[in-house]
């Protein structure tokens, strides 16, 4: 995970991304009158890369049906 690297530029980039996303999501949730959970945000940031990789790998092995057509890569 990038947070455990010794490269200060990569660490700064990851922290900047987390801070910017947190501020934008908190502001947006306030605009639409939804509660923003900072704890849930941090936990989901940890699992998000695993989710993306899992979906990407699964999409290479599983077919789908769309508009009546079947597809399997």
* pLDDT by 10s per residue, the chain, length 73: 555 667 888 888 888 999 999 999 999 999 999 999 999 999 998 898 899 999 999 888 887 777 888 776 5
Short-list 2, 47, 43, CA closest to 22:
43
Residue with tokens 């789908």: 64
Short-list 40, 56, 38, 45, CA closest to 1:
45
Query: Which token pair is 45?
Result: 């940031």
pLDDT at 1 (0 to 100)? 54
Q: Enumerate the β-bridge partners of residue 69.
A: 66
Phi, psi (rounded to 5 degrees) for 61: -115, -20
């Amino acid at each position: 995970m990038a947070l455990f690297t010794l490269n200060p530029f990569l660490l700064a980039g990851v922290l900047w991304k987390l801070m910017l996303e947190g501020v934008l999501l908190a502001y947006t949730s306030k605009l639409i009158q939804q509660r923003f959970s900072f704890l849930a945000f941090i936990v989901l940031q940890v699992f998000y890369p695993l989710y993306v990789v899992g979906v990407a790998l699964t999409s290479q092995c599983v077919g789908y049906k769309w508009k009546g057509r079947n597809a399997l890569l």
